[in-house]
Each structure stands twice: as C-alpha cells, then as structure tokens.
Amino acid sequence: MTPPRPVPASILLCSPAHTRKLSLGCPSLDRFLGGGIDHGGITEVAGEAGSGKTQLALQLMLHVQLPHGRGGLGGGAVYLHSDHASYVPALNRLRTLAEAFARAHAALGATVDRLMDQVSVVQIDDVDTLASVLQHDVPAFLAEKQVRLVVLDSIGALFRHAGDDAGRSRASQQAERAQQLFAVAARLKSLSDRFNVAVVVTNQVTDKPLSASGLASAPAYERGACRLADGASVRVPALGVGWAHCVNTRLILTRHEVSVPGAPSAASPVVVGGLGAKRKHSSLEWSDDVRVGGWEESSQAYCSPSTSTTRTAHIAWSPRLPGRSMRFEVRDDGLHGIAS
Amino acid sequence: MEVSQLPLPPSMVEMLHLAGFSVVADLDGISALELADELKMSPSDASQLLASVRSHGLRTPRAPPATSALELLHDERHSEKIVTAVKELDDLLGGGIPLRQLTELVGVPGVGKTQLSIQLALTVQIPRLFHGAEGEAVYIDTEGSFMAERAHAMAEALLRHLHATAHRAADHAQAAAAASLRASHLLERIHCFRVHDAAELLATVRSLNFFLAERKTVKLVVVDSVAFHFRHGVSDYTRRHQMLGQLTQALSEYATRHSLSVVMVNQVTTKVNDATNTSSIQPALGESWAHACNIQLVLHWMNGTRVARLCKGREPGWAEYQVTEEGVRSVQNPTRGADT
C-alpha cells in the first residue's frame, strides 16, 4: 500500500473539488450556507416529517446538474432511497420540481426527461444492502458516470430499528449498530473524497429526555431541535452522538404552527424572528446562538384556530460556518429563504 | 525502537509486522529457529536478520550526541509551547500546548475540536520574534473535516493579530516579520494527509518517519481524529489495541526525537449500563489508550458556553472559550475555575 502524500493547505485552497459549493438555487439560502452545500464530507439534513428535508435533497439533485457557472457541479446524482412507503411520492415530487426547474432553465437546454435521466435511484431495503451498494455498486457507477452528488434518504429510517434483537443486551446491539454506522460514514466520506462528489444524508428526529441541567447547557448536537410540549424532552436528530461525530455539517429543519393575526411579532417573537435577532447580538459567536428556549411558548399556538406554518433552517455546526438560523418556505420549485 | 527503523528491506519489515513484531524489544530472546518458524523463512535468513537486529537495535543505548552551547542557545529561542489563543487556557497550560508531548483533545460533536486543531496548525507558525515556535504543521485528516477556507480565514486573523502586536509594542523587527508573512505562506506550511481507514492511518504515521527527517521544522502533528477509523472496520479488539499502540508509540517517538507536539483528537461515545439502564458520555477510545497522552483537554458545554477542561498533565482546571470568525478565542468576561 502506498501511503498518501501530503498536500499543502494552500493547494487545497485553490482546488475546486475542495472549495466549490453546490447551490440550492435560492440566493438567500446560499448566502446562509456560505455559498451552498460543501463538496467534501457529509452534510446531514435532519428534521421531522414534513419539515422539507426530502424536498431539499430533491432540489439539490436537480441543481447539481447545472454547470459550475450556474451554481451546479456539472454532474448527475445518485439517490439512495430507503423508505418503501415514500418511494413513489418522492419520485412524483422530483418530477414536479423538475418541471419547474426545466421551465426556469430552458435556455440551458434543461428538459424534464434529461433532468430525470441524470438521477439514478437505488432502493435500499436494509443496512446490509446499503453496505453492499456503497462498497460495490456506487463506486463502479461513479467511476463510469459524471456524478457529483450522492443522497441517502434517510439514514435514520435504516438504522433506527437495525439490530433489534431480544436475545442480546442493549449494549452489544448498540455496539454493532455503531460499527455499521461508522462503516457507512467512512464509505461515504471516502467516496466523496475519491470521486469528488457531495454527500447529503437525511435523518429523522427522535425525542430525548431533557437532562436536569436543561437545554441551556445542552451541547450543539442536542440544540437546534425543538423542546416538546411536555417540557421534559427535546426533539433531536436520530442515531445519537456516535453518528453525530460522522456528520461534517449538520442542518436541522423545523416547522412550527403559529397563529396568523399579529401574534408572531407580539406574543411569541422568538418563534419567528428570535433566532435571527439573537444572531445580530452575538454575530461573533458560533453555534451558541442556536437557542431554542423561546419555542416552548409557541406550543400554545397549536391551539389557535387560524395558524400558518413557520419553517426554520438551523446550522447546528459546520467546519466553516457559525451556527445560525434562517426562515424559509416551500414553494413548487423548492425551498426559498426568507430574509429577515 | 520500532522495527521499521532498522536498516532492513521493506518486505522484511512488513513480514515482521505481519508476524506481530513491531518493536525491536519484541525480538529479544528469540532464537533464529523460532523466528524462521514465525516468519516462514529459512533459518539462515532468520539468523542473518537477527544479526542485523542485534547490531542495530538491541545494543545498549548510546549516550546522546553532545550538543554545543550555540545549539542550546538556538534552541532556547524557540518557544516550547504552542498558544491556543485562549488566554485563560494558555495560562492553565503554562503557556500553551507543549512540544515533546502528546495531547488528547476530546469532546462532543460541534464543540470545536477541529477548529482548535486548525488554529494550532497556524499558531505553531508564529515567528520566534513573537515568541512562537516558528514551526510547520502536519495535519492528518481522517474525517474530511479540514477546511482550507476556514484555515485561510483564521490565518488572516492571526496575521492581523501579529500586526497589531508589533504596532502596540512599536517593535520594528516584529513589524517587518509580520509584514513579510502572507496567509498563503501559513497555509503552505500545513501539510495535509487525507486518510480513509485505520490501515492507511497507520501507514501514514509510519511514513512520517521519513517526512519529519526531511522537514525538521515541523513542530506539530495533528491527528483529527484518531478515533474515527478505529470505530469501524477493526472489530477485533486485540488488533485494534495493537494498532492504536503502534500508532501512539510512533507518534510518541517523533515527539521526542523531533521536539514536536502531537495533538490527537478523540471522539466521545455513549456508554450504556445495562444493569442500571443509564447512559453517560465518555471518550471513545478506552482507558488503555488514554494513558498514552500526557495531557488531556476535554471540550464540552457548560451553561451554554464552551469550556476547555484540563484533566491531565498539570493542575486541573477549566477555561471558557468561544469560536468566532477569527478562530478560537477567549470569551468577553471570562470565568475560569480550578477543579475540586
């Protein structure tokens, strides 16, 4: 085995593969993400059902096909899909997005058929299938085709019930699951580095009891998620601290129902503008400003008869960006940031 | 002394490694016949090999070469510490991360382990005129988290700091030294290795033997992280233990031989206690590995602030820090504590 050669960081800085970003197609969300999704490493998008995480992944699979000058990476996408129930709906949504996308980029020759043809979908039934696909099929495919994005949707669905076996201790099951998780992460990172592809992994959220010391002392990987109405637990990305270590950039999408008439700014300012406002006060501090304290008030809004959905994207951590938040909305053509 | 340092053909070294002989002392007392059996080679070859080992490795250690007073004086001008740029933490450490030692940096995801590591790869380069170690850095990236853009932003901030320091002191020599430095120069002196599995990590660390002999100015070796690749792929505990031992032993030798600092990033894991059905956060690599490090810094969250806790090496204590756009810095109104 030839040991790897060192590369000076100054060379990495000039390497497009190391610095180029994948645009989301929305200028304000791109600014929020410092240009877009990183080309290297694993970007996780976590959120509850309906938060927009799959929508974001689908959007990226179209944008990646744009040439570099237009914010894309000039290649296709591989879509590793794990949830049988949402398989057809997800592809239908991809088609709807592709229609809007083709209209917007008709000048570049984009058509629905071409766009859909550049997305290769692989159905993943279980963890063993995933391991085998990542080890054999995906590298072979990436060596042949011009692919610049691999999406795994979702890691949480695959691993949450993996290894459940009544005959074994909880500790030994967790140890095995952790090994498999780390192997998947290492494989994805290696693919990203060797084949120069961006990797986006979606994840579910899970409810975790809140420690006695409360949310204020919670680490970043337990923040940016919402506190539940019972006040005793918090909703965090699934798969625990082990998987969290594997994630280079963690994005969390949340949604809240807020009452419409005048209430947001007066009764629960934190819900709509609080995170952004907090950021202004401590623009130097990274990720500490992703606080969720105000959200418990918003649970009252669930009772309100006239509500609208407020969606927020949070950067829980990133190797190059401060923790921060931005509101967004989901339109026919994808996610759009709302400048505050 | 490691067998890889013996003047043997690489194939022979590899055979020794495969048979489990990693250090010369492992061969102590073995007969040529026994070795021939172990290595599946002819007894005459084995006896030649042993003769070579005996002539180079197993003889009594020589007295260290005499050092001239001039060399000693020269040595004195190098700082023996690498500043963290968090004043309270540097105070705890007696000036910074020391050369010739192994330092473990452990903490939860997103707390700033990589940020501090990248910053150390820059502060190790602070010129002697500014009481720095004026060295270069080796950065072994196992997780794909080293970001050249981030290093560049921190380098710019460090240069601004040096300019300001020279200006405040009205020191012309310092001002000239600062003016001659560019962020790109600092990045050129960070030598990055990207490794994808545990075997590659070990091979890379072994190959540093030659790299460090060529690049005598390297004063810092970062492994970010040492844990990741040992959490998958190496399921056999004996093998894992052995590889980790070889890794730390090699790094420890480099630290002494080249008067450099080794910083090893460690992850955390959730330990489940089946009996009490409780769980707690602990460093990922176990106790047997931890004692290889002279200094342990635990990074964690306390009441919403990041805290670096010095757990081993000097008087225990902790210091708050923050991660800003400039890098890792002191908080505005620091509190600092001694552990009870």
State residue A79 phi and psi, 5-degree precision.
Answer: -115, 105
Q: Tell me: pLDDT of A18 over 70.
A: yes
Q: Tell me: pLDDT of B48 over 90.
A: no
Per DSSP, chain A holds a count of helices (H) and strands (E) of 15, 14
pLDDT confidence of residue A83: 84
State the pTM of this model. Answer: 0.81
Q: How confident is the model at residue A271 (pLDDT cuts 50, 70, 90)?
A: very low
Q: How confident is the model at residue A10 (pLDDT cuts 50, 70, 90)?
A: very high
| Contacting residues for A242 by C-beta, under 8 A, at least 6 apart | A178, A181, A182, B231, B267, B269, B270
Tell me the shortest Cα–Cα distance from A245 to chain B, in angstroms.
Answer: 5
Residues of chain A contacting residue B193, judged by C-beta atoms under 8 Å apart: 4-7
**From the list A181, A288, A320, which residue is nearest B147 (CB)?**
A320
Q: How confident is the model at residue A300 (pLDDT cuts 50, 70, 90)?
A: very low
Chain A residue whose CA is closest to B106: A245
Of A91-95, A162-166, B125-129, B154-158, least confident by mean pLDDT is A162-166
Q: Tell me: pLDDT of B313 over 80.
A: yes
CA B7 to centroid of chain Cα atoms: 26
DSSP assignments along A114-132, one per residue: HHHHTEEEEE--SHHHHHH
State residue B103 phi and psi, 5-degree precision.
Answer: -115, 130
Q: What is the pLDDT of residues B143-164, one digit of tens each?
A: 999 999 999 999 999 999 999 9
Q: Tell me: pLDDT of A91 over 70.
A: yes
Q: Tell me: pLDDT of B272 over 60.
A: yes
| Cβ distance of A9 and B192 shorter than 8 Å | yes
Chain A residue whose CA is closest to B204: A3
| Cβ distance of B301 and A10 shorter than 8 Å | no
8 A C-beta contact, residue A336 and residue A26: yes
Q: How confident is the model at residue B58 (pLDDT cuts 50, 70, 90)?
A: low
When pLDDT is averaged across residues B81-96 and rounded to a whole number, the result is: 95
List, as ranges, residues 146-205 from B with C-beta within 8 Å of A: 146-153, 184, 187-197, 199-200, 203-204
pLDDT confidence of residue A228: 53
Q: What is the pLDDT of residues B183-232, one digit of tens each?
A: 999 999 999 999 999 999 999 999 999 999 999 999 999 999 999 999 99
Q: Tell me: pLDDT of B36 over 50.
A: yes
pLDDT confidence of residue B275: 75
Residue spans of alpha helices (H) in B197-286: 198-214, 237-257
Does A240 contact chain B (CB < 8 Å)? yes
CA B36 to centroid of chain Cα atoms: 37
pLDDT confidence of residue B29: 65
Q: What is the pLDDT of residues A129-145, one digit of tens each?
A: 999 999 999 999 999 99
Of A127-136, A150-159, B51-60, B228-237, least confident by mean pLDDT is B51-60
Of A143-152, A243-252, B34-43, B251-260, least confident by mean pLDDT is B34-43
Pairing of strands B218-224, B136-141: parallel
State residue A278 phi and psi, 5-degree precision.
Answer: -60, -35
Q: Tell me: pLDDT of A22 over 70.
A: yes
Of A20-34, B55-69, B103-117, B221-235, least confident by mean pLDDT is B55-69
pLDDT confidence of residue A267: 36
Q: Tell me: pLDDT of B334 over 60.
A: yes
Q: How confident is the model at residue B289 (pLDDT cuts 50, 70, 90)?
A: confident
Does A336 contact chain B (CB < 8 Å)? no
8 A C-beta contact, residue A43 and residue A201: yes
**From the list A192, A216, A316, which residue is nearest B110 (CB)?**
A316
- Sequence-ordered strand ranges (E) for A15-153: 21-22, 37-38, 42-47, 76-81, 119-123, 147-153
pLDDT confidence of residue B265: 97
